[in-house]
Structure 1
């Protein structure tokens, strides 16, 4: 899995918490603890998928455009990280004579696909609002500001 998923969830939860205000990529990046360019890349994907809206210029930024109660983490995962569970490199070579070397790559591909389906099913159980509630239960805060 790549870090874009964590950045996306963190950003969406932050925007849900700030539901009445826009946030700049600098503000979000400071909260996420990463570079604003990485945040803009991820938020660009989320914008194209309808999770966030943007407004340019002074007072502009990003604002949540999805319902945090209805948006589950599987939807976010599909938007920014689908297919990243499998490593970019797998051992083995289908051209080898050895039954292990010639087959392990296909077997592992199937296993990664199945694991990703299970992961998606798990993420479907969690919404952006659930993550915000969990955070606020730790810090005894209101869910939105």
Structure 2
């Protein structure tokens, strides 16, 4: 899983918290505590896939356009992180029985693990995350 997933979830929860207010990438970046350029990259992806809209100009910003009850975390994972659980293997010793077979042997394990992660994330929505945040108050 990569940090774009975290930025995407955080951004959508932030927008869902005040659904009628435009939020700038700077507002969101301050909440996420990352550089606004990173947030804009993820917001661009979310906009391209129809989760948010943007308005340009001095009073511009971003707004959530999908119902947060229908945005499941698996969609965001697939969009931002699919394939990221599988590590990049170092160039192992091809003369060693383990070295020449370990990557192939582990690939299926990582694929199955990712399928389970995605299946589990289907059970959670942006609204669920927002409610969990509210439980902390």
TM norm structure 1 = 0.90
Equivalences for 1:1-145 in 2 at 5 Å? 1-87=1-87, 89-91=88-90, 93=92, 96-139=94-137
Q: Which runs of 5+ in 2 are unaligned?
A: none
Aligned-residue offset at 1:92: 5.4
Structure 1 consecutive aligned stretches of length 4 or more whose deviation exceeds 2 Å: none
Q: Which runs of 5+ in 1 are unaligned?
A: 140-145
**Partner SS state of residue 38, structure 1:** helix
**CA RMSD of the aligned region, Å?**
1.3
Aligned residue pairs, count:
137
What TM-score do you get using the length of structure 2 for normalisation? Answer: 0.95
Residues 52 and 62 of structure 1 are in contact (CA less than 8 Å); yes or no, is this contact kept in structure 2?
yes
Please give the alpha-carbon distance, in whole angstroms, between the structure 1 residues aligned to 2:108 and 2:56. 44
